[in-house]
Amino acid sequence: MSQQQSVPLSSNTSEVEEIGRAHARPKKVHHIQLNEVVDQTFNDTASSLPMDKTTLARGFVNSHIFQGLCGGKVARSKHHALFPRFPTVKRRVASLTADFADDEYFQRVFGFIVPKVTGMYRFAVASDDTSEFWLSTDNLAEHERLLCFVGRPEDPENEVWTHPGDYSRYSSQISQPVHLDANRAYFMELFHKQSGGGAHVSVAWQPPSETEFAVIEKEFLMGYENELDELHSATDGHDHGAAAAPPSHRHYFEVEAGTEISPSPAMDPRTEFWRIPRVPPQVTLHVLETCEYHPSYLANRKLNRYEGVSMVEVSEVFPDDSTGLLFNQQPESANPLIPTDQAKAIVVEYLDLLNARRPNDTLVLKRVVNIVNKRDRARGALRTLLEIDVAPLHSPDKVQRLSQYVYRPSAAEELCYPSGMVWNATATIHLVIPVKNQVAWVAHLIENLEALWIETRDEHVNLVLVDFDSTDGDYEAMLRRSRIPHYTFVRKTGNFERTTGIQAGVDTVQNANDIVFTCDLHLDIPATLLDDIRKHTIASKQVYAPLVVRLGCGFTPAHPNGFWEHAGYGLLSIVKRDFDRIGGMNTREFGDRWGGEDWELLDRVLSANLEVERLRQPRFYHFWHSRKGMWSGTA
């Protein structure tokens, strides 16, 4: 395992005005870096800028392209995980005609407009698909306002666009007159979303005394930063220049009624599992007898090809974990709920048995954190993961968390501890992720895992990144410069092969009792997933296959819309020795194929008499993404 030391851590219509007000967030200031004045014409401009050292990046503005973002709406793209820090292309454009030859991308053009005549100006924008033009009242981004746009958040997808140079198709395309002073720099941003078809965007103005609109050319432009054109972000994946600061605004967009996913309750105790100290194991050791545990739903045979997917059921939970989808609501769209009376009964029964063994040190219930029931219907048996917060009667502030598997072999029998069902709270988890030519997404993954480390301080997590000859960035350098405390980097040659990559990553795990999680790159991983993996992944007994929300095109965890991936088993946690015992990944059959390898692995998991815990994992999202460059050598 490679390791790293942790690092401490004004508008043309009232409609435009209304949209600008409704969508604007609190703004942050951009500062231009100026070192020298290169033309006397810009002397007054330099004096209007808030820095004492300057260089005027004259004759262009900056353009950042975010490739692989689907849909045609600017508003959604501003919430994307890659925006604004991880552009795939950075360039300079010499006019506000900022066309880019590609599909499925989002563009941010930014810099300064420097007029040469004082007076009233009108601005206009044209684009395919949608666009927004923002202009500040001065050189500060925090004073920006939306002047004109093509497309509103509520408009139908891919139905709003214009022909090149057509500034009159929609009333929102032309701004109200705004006053500008000669030789003063005004910060501007142009946002453009292209889905498919004829990509174009342009901003024109009508200066004082002019009767026609003309595209704003380079003699009136000044770049935010004199950055070089390049195909991707900085070598560590993070843009340390112009994109490092957030844009001046990130709009909220209106979500069509009934399409959002219910947010998790703000005080859900599941979200802070690692913050509460555990009840010591010796406290619960002899509360119940240990009983044989061999549920009737275990396969006890070799399964036929792809038979396993029909044998796995989602377990029941309490309390409500808000995994229900409001979009296309169906009865099975959330984790099934345990009735309150049943949940209460098992908590009271276990706590009474616990306190019977400690009459002088009674523990009182503070709250029910989480209960997961798995039913053996053939035998009338019930296995339960019981998680509650308790505290001593005379020390109510000393809260500890109890997390224990219990089992009732039949309705007439007493609770017992199911043999072998003990989870390891300090098991090391290896997140195994194969990648190729996905530098922006690797940067997002690193940022996600850095945030998890800062939040949980979990020292028992290791990222295993398997890179297939990526040409768009130095992933090993990105890991080396990150704050991820533990990682393993594996370099592979040739085209991307998921099955081969996962096997190569698992092969680096030396401890047979560690947990491997066959993971995906394009995820938003919640901190709760780490301990959930440990709770539900038990050697010789159980693997965990969490359900993830597949976000729809253009949607994000902040504004989600999607579906639970019921058919997918590509996200699977399993103890390393169990992985080896079932034969690992089937690289012989699926080495150069992608599709079906997860179902085939599931068949072998079940054939080995391992249970599969299946739950919808709260706050766990898979982003829509382009597959461009993933299989071939072309980035």
Q: Are 57 and 224 in contact (CB under 8 A)?
A: yes
CA 632/CA 635 separation, integer angstroms: 8
Condensed to tens digits (0 to 9), the pLDDT of residues 276-326 reads 999 999 999 999 999 999 999 999 999 999 999 999 999 999 999 988 865
Condensed to tens digits (0 to 9), the pLDDT of residues 413-437 reads 999 999 999 999 999 999 999 999 9
Element holding 23 (H helix, E strand): helix 14-23
* C-alpha dihedral, 449 to 451 to 455 to 457, nearest 10°: 40
Does the N-terminal peptide bond of residue 418 adopt cis geometry, omega within 30 degrees of 0? no
Ranges of each domain in the chain = 13-223, 269-418, 429-622
CA 373/CA 357 separation, integer angstroms: 25
Q: Which amino acid is at 547?
A: L
Q: Strands 461-468 and 429-435: what pairing?
A: parallel
Residues 6+ apart with CB under 8 A from 103: 194, 195, 196, 197, 199
Backbone angles phi, psi at 589, to 5 degrees: -90, -30
Region label for 183, one of left (φ > 0), alpha (ψ between -120 and 50) or beta (otherwise): left
Count of Cβ atoms closer than 10 Å to residue 359 Cβ: 7
Q: Facing residues of 301 across strands?
A: none
Question: Above 60 in pLDDT, residue 28?
Answer: no
Residues 6+ apart with CB under 8 A from 127: 150, 161, 162, 192, 200, 201, 202
pLDDT class of 595 with cuts at 50, 70, 90: confident
Q: Which amino acid is at 350?
A: Y
Please spell the DSSP secondary structure of 391-402, one letter per residue. EETT-TT--EEE
List the strands of the sheet with 461-468, edge to edge: 2-3, 486-492, 461-468, 429-435, 515-518, 572-575, 542-544, 611-613
pLDDT for res 360: 85
Q: Facing residues of 3 across strands?
A: 486
Residue of 5 and 303 predicted with greater confidence:
303
3-state secondary structure 216-235: CEHHHEEECCCCCCECCCCC
Q: Facing residues of 373 across strands?
A: 316, 384
Q: Are 518 and 570 in contact (CB under 8 A)?
A: yes
Cα Rg of the chain (Å, integer): 28
CA 149/CA 161 separation, integer angstroms: 10
Domain 429-622, CATH homologous superfamily name and number: Spore Coat Polysaccharide Biosynthesis Protein SpsA; Chain A (3.90.550.10)
Point out the least confidently predicted range of 86-95, 327-336, 396-405, 487-496: 327-336
User: Which of 611, 553, 551, 430 has its CA nearest to residue 157?
Assistant: 553
pLDDT for res 162: 96
Region 44-54: mean pLDDT is 41
CA 633/CA 635 separation, integer angstroms: 6
Tokens for 198, please give them. Answer: 């004829």
CA 151/CA 129 separation, integer angstroms: 8
pLDDT class of 629 with cuts at 50, 70, 90: low
pLDDT for res 217: 97
Q: Are 241 and 309 in contact (CB under 8 A)?
A: no
Report the chain's mean pLDDT, rounded to a whole number: 85
Distance separating the N- and C-terminal Cα atoms of the chain: 28
Point out the least confidently predicted range of 239-248, 349-358, 461-470, 569-578: 239-248
Query: Percent of the chain at pLDDT above 90?
Result: 69
pLDDT for res 635: 34
The DSSP secondary-structure symbol of 434 reads E
CA 264 to chain centre: 16
Q: Are 147 and 178 in contact (CB under 8 A)?
A: yes
Its pTM surpasses 0.75:
yes
Q: Which amino acid is at 247?
A: P
CA 68 to chain centre: 15
Residue with tokens 């979009």: 327
Q: Are 11 and 143 in contact (CB under 8 A)?
A: no
CA 217/CA 201 separation, integer angstroms: 14
Residue of 257 and 147 predicted with greater confidence:
147
Condensed to tens digits (0 to 9), the pLDDT of residues 167-226 reads 999 999 999 999 999 999 999 999 999 998 889 999 999 999 999 999 999 999 999 887
Half-sphere exposure of 75 (CA within 13 A, CB side): 22
Region 529-537: mean pLDDT is 97
pLDDT for res 76: 87
- How many degrees, rounded to 5, is the angle at CA 581 between CA 579 and CA 583? 75
**Structurally, what CATH architecture does the domain formed by 13-223 represent?**
Sandwich (2.60)
Region 537-542: mean pLDDT is 98
pLDDT for res 47: 43
Backbone angles phi, psi at 451, to 5 degrees: -65, -40
Is the sign of the CA dihedral 165, 166, 168, 174 positive or negative?
Answer: negative
How many helices (H) and strands (E) the chain has is answered by 12, 29
Region 228-247: mean pLDDT is 48
Is the sign of the CA dihedral 227, 231, 232, 234 positive or negative?
Answer: negative
Does the N-terminal peptide bond of residue 295 adopt cis geometry, omega within 30 degrees of 0? no
